């Protein structure tokens, strides 16, 4: 009897949902050639063609639709099993690290949907810049980390995707008459800070870092007061802050890579369940953990 590895089914579903190999690879933390190889392997195992070319685009064949349908059912059961077995690690606390803004945006829904339904679970959560979080993960200070990187995911990402950045602040803070653009930033080493300064330097704009804070609350207070502008991931901008219009002439910001990373010396089954919960919230921002 042949068996179909779930990672091959997950690759198929990602390609179908995201309509492309590259974007599927970004979600799953793999390269485009790796996704292509996985789909070739899946096709070899099931023994039927999964895609066909129609007007230059790839579409599922009739049997490919059937495989995708069963793939979703199998993955749903797989993920449900991991959730039901979550008690395998709940005798101790799960140590989580993530940036401030992601914690504010997603952590409450994670706790509502995961921790409160499994009250024996305990959590230690630390918010810091991604550089320090990844260093802590390497030193086994964390079990699970959500972190940003500039040039693609760091090695060993459980899942990764691209995030766009936006300038945030009051329009008067970057009025043309100002000689220097005032920048509000997290401490040195922050990916947001790095991208802001790179954008300014690339376009020759004059700037000055006028305020530095390790907390999102401090960043938000400075920006709301008009003290300066900052950059944040577009989809986690706090409700009280607004992105600045491109008509203000601010330089474009490069995307960042966001990944979920797991401690490598613990059993995968102990961490994949909460990692999958975080990934679900990131991929579907309005969803809650079931």
Contact, 48 vs 61, CB < 8 A? yes
Domain extents in the chain: 6-84, 90-161+257-283, 165-254
CATH number of 165-254: 3.40.190.10
Which two three-digit tokens encode residue 132? 């320090």
Alpha helices in the chain (DSSP H): 6-18, 21-28, 32-46, 62-84, 100-110, 130-138, 191-203, 216-224, 268-283
Which two three-digit tokens encode residue 95? 């140590």
Report field, pTM of the whole predicted structure over 0.85: no
Is CATH 1.10.10.10 what the domain over 6-84 is classified as, yes or no?
yes
Order of strands across the sheet that contains 157-163: 122-127, 93-98, 144-149, 256-262, 157-163
Domain at 90-161+257-283, CATH class:
alpha beta
- Is 90-161+257-283's fold the same as 165-254's? yes
For every one of its 290 residues, what pLDDT tens digit does the chain have, with 9 covering 90 and above?
688 999 999 999 888 888 888 888 887 878 889 999 999 999 999 999 999 888 777 888 999 999 999 998 888 888 767 665 554 444 567 888 999 888 887 777 777 766 545 545 577 889 999 999 999 988 888 988 999 998 777 777 778 888 899 999 987 766 655 678 899 999 998 999 999 999 999 988 889 999 999 989 999 999 999 889 999 999 888 888 889 987 778 899 999 988 888 887 655 555 666 777 776 776 665 444 34
């Amino acid at each position: 009897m042949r068996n179909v590895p779930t990672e091959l089914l997950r690759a198929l579903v990602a390609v179908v949902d995201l309509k492309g190999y590259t974007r599927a690879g970004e979600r799953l933390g793999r390269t485009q050639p790796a996704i292509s190889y996985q789909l070739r392997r899946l096709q070899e195992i099931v023994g039927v063609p999964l895609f066909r070319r129609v007007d230059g685009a790839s579409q599922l064949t009739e049997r490919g639709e059937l495989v995708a349908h069963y793939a979703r059912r199998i993955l749903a059961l797989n993920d449900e099993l991991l959730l039901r077995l979550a008690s395998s690690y709940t005798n101790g606390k799960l140590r989580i690290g993530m940036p401030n803004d992601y914690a504010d945006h997603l952590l409450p829904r994670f706790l509502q949907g995961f921790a409160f339904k499994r009250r024996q679970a305990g959590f230690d959560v630390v918010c810091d810049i991604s550089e320090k979080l990844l260093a802590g993960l390497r030193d086994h200070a964390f079990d699970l980390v959500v972190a940003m990187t500039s040039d693609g995911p760091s090695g060993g990402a459980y899942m990764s995707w691209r995030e766009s950045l936006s300038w945030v602040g009051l329009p008067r803070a970057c009025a043309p008459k100002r000689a220097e653009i005032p920048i509000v930033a997290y401490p040195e080493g922050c990916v947001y800070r790095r991208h802001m300064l790179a954008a300014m330097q690339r376009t020759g704009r004059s700037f000055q870092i006028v305020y530095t804070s390790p907390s999102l609350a401090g960043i938000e207070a400075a920006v709301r007061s008009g003290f300066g502008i900052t950059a944040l991931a577009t989809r986690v901008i706090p409700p009280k802050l607004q992105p600045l219009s491109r008509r203000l002439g601010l330089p474009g910001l490069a995307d960042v890579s966001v990944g979920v990373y797991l401690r490598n010396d613990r059993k995968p089954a102990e961490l994949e369940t909460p990692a999958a919960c975080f990934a679900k919230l990131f991929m579907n921002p309005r969803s809650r953990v079931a």
